[in-house]
Amino acid sequence: MTYSKCRVCREPAIIDLPRHNANFCAEHLLQLCRRQVQKAIADHDMLSFDDKILVAVSGGKDSLAVWDILTELGYQADGLYIGLGIGEYSDVSYDFTAAFAVERGLDLHTIDLRGEYGYDVPTAAKVTKRVPCSACGLSKRHLFDKAALDGGYDVVVTGHNLDDEAAVLFGNALRWDVEYLARQFPVLPARPGFPKKVKPLMRLTEREMAAWCIVRGIDYQVEECPMALGNKHLAYKDALNAIERESPGSKSAFYLNFVDKMAPLLAGHSQAASGELNDCTACGAPTTGETCAFCRLTDRVSGHDPVPVELVLNKKARKAYLAAQAAAGE
Amino acid sequence: MIVRLRQPKREIEIDGVHTVNQLLDGLDMNRESFLVIRNGTLVPGDGRLDEHDTIEIRPVVSGG
């Protein structure tokens, strides 16, 4: 039994969205999400119905939701899943992704880091002695770019949502990192060696995206990546959600007003976006040096014996990971 | 009522709460970071809970 009513139809609500000062039933929650995606696409010239689209899918709520929304709206979108080798977490994530694609008759491409490049994310983190998210992000960016260009795709879609973008903005603003601030746009245009990349979920929170998946019956990887536990990105999200609770709408105002008002002032201030690039001597990808960062990484880590996930976690993350493993085994 | 939690998966039993907001507040969970699900359906903040319910509190924040 509920008391709140849908703002649109006055039927019983299933969700309260304080930032809209409103409640919604299932049907009108989906309508809200679709309209926010359509507005993002239109405002930023993200996609056309003729585009051949590649969606970067992880098995999490955001990437499956954006793939679902785009195909529902009539876009032609295939998926690409990269097997990162993060133990059972990656295995389960792939299962959710594959099931989603099969149920909807969608084309899913897969790349297995260990099988095709001789390493996985935990091993790369151990060998390079850098945080796991560094090797993970580097690998994904390179392989999504390469797959899009090789496959003749017009644009890569990622499932970054409003919370993701606000957290990145928060981190960049804490350091006043103009280089990164000047590159934080919801659309990165194509340039030689790089496909166009867009973020159609930029106007939707992750609570709304999780709700989309639940209403649409999409099973997704709910558990957190063990390598991400305790990272700064999560700390920034917690901080923003604490503010959001006290002042609903702050998070979207912070990010969307940045995009509308600050990003134009910062255009052209990124040296990386405007600097001269060379072709990587190994793979041909654009790079500021002779060899690109991905090829340097694979040279260094490929062929190492796999390192178990728990050996590259900090103390707090390892404790949480082992507790989750124990719970899963019960 | 039985409350299923995630990250990691576990169950706890809670009595004496009557709404979703009371439940989340009692567990010191920010409403912005969680959804509450009963029988596969979302329940809003003022949604009533019954002592015989089995519900899931699902975190929505991801660190990727």
Q: What is the pLDDT of residues B5-32, one digit of tens each?
A: 998 889 999 998 889 999 999 999 999 9
H helical segments located in chain A: 26-43, 61-73, 87-104, 121-128, 132-150, 162-174, 178-181, 206-216, 232-246, 250-257, 263-266, 271-274, 293-301, 315-329
Reported as a pLDDT band with limits 50, 70 and 90, residue B64 is low
Q: Categorize the per-residue pLDDT at A275 as very low, low, confident or very high, splitting at 50, 70 and 90.
A: confident
At A1 the pLDDT is 56
At residue A303's C-alpha, the angle toward residues A297 and A309, to 5°, is 80
pLDDT band at B35 (very low <50, low <70, confident <90, very high): very high
What's the rounded mean pLDDT across residues A153-168? 98
Cβ contact B43–A324 (<8 Å): no
**Cβ pair B46:A16 closer than 8 A:** yes
Question: In chain A, pLDDT over 90 holds for what percent of residues?
Answer: 84
pLDDT at A2: 56
What pLDDT sits at residue A173? 97
Please report which confidence band the pLDDT of residue A318 belongs to, taking 50, 70 and 90 as the band edges.
Answer: confident
Instruction: Give tens-digit pLDDT for A63-114.
Output: 999 999 999 999 999 999 999 999 999 999 999 999 999 999 999 999 999 9
pTM of the model: 0.95
**Tokens for A87?**
């133990």
Mean pLDDT of B38-63: 93
- Average the pLDDT over A169-181 and give the result: 96
- Asked if B39 has any chain A CB less than 8 Å from its own CB, the reply is no
DSSP string over A292-327:
-HHHHHHHHHTTPPPPPGGGGS-HHHHHHHHHHHHH
Which of B43, B44, B64 minimises the CB distance to A225?
B64
Query: A1 contacts in B (CB within 8 Å)?
Result: 47-48
pLDDT at B36: 97
Predicted local distance difference test score (pLDDT) of residue A286 = 93
What number of C-beta contacts closer than 8 Å exist between A and B?
106
Residue B13 identity (one-letter amino acid): E
Interface test with A, best of B12, B42, B49, B62 (most A CBs within 10 A): B62
Please give the share of chain A, as a percent, with pLDDT higher than 70. Answer: 98
Write the burial class of residue B52 (CB in 10 Å: 0-12 exposed, 13-18 middle, 19+ buried).
exposed
What is the mean predicted confidence (pLDDT) over A220-249?
93
Lowest mean pLDDT among A119-123, A138-142, A255-259, A312-316: A312-316
The answer to whether A141 contacts chain B (CB < 8 Å) is: no
Query: Is A244 part of the contact surface with chain B (CB cutoff 8 Å)?
Result: yes
**B10: which chain A residues are within 8 Å (Cβ-Cβ)?**
327
Q: Which of A227, A110, A210 is nearest to A162 (CA)?
A: A210
CA pair distance B15, B13, nearest whole angstrom: 7
A176 touches chain B (CB under 8 A): no
Rg (CA), chain A: 20
* Interchain CB distance below 8 Å, A245 and B59: no
User: How far B28 CA sits from the closest chain A CA (Å)?
Assistant: 12
Between A3, A211, A327, which is nearest B8 by CB? A327
Of A4, A61, A206, Cβ closest to residue B44: A4
Helix (H, G, I), strand (E, B) or coil at A98: helix
- CA–chain centroid gap for A63, Å, is 7
For B14-59, the DSSP string reads: --S--BHHHHHHHTT--GGGEEEEETTEE--TT-B--TT-EEEEEE
Enumerate residues 6+ apart whose C-beta is below 8 A from A132: A121, A122, A124, A125, A227, A228, A312
* In contact, A223 and A307? CB cutoff 8 Å: no
* pLDDT of residue A269 exceeding 90: no
What residues pair up with A17 in beta bridges, in sequence order?
Answer: A22
- What's the rounded mean pLDDT across residues A208-218? 98
Q: Is the pLDDT of residue A329 over 70?
A: no
* Per-residue tokens: A166: 């606000």
In the predicted structure, residue A120 carries a pLDDT above the cut 70? yes
Mean per-residue pLDDT of chain A: 94
Q: Compute the distance between CA of residue B41 and CA of residue A116 in angstroms, rounded to an integer.
A: 41
- The reply to whether residue B62 touches residue A225, judged by beta carbons under 8 angstroms, is yes
pLDDT band at residue A326 under the 50/70/90 scheme: confident
Give the lowest-confidence range in A32-41, A71-80, A129-138, B34-43: A129-138
Asked whether the beta carbons of residue B63 and residue A328 sit closer than 8 angstroms, the reply is no
pLDDT higher than 70, residue A229:
yes
CB atoms A225 and B61 under 8 Å: no
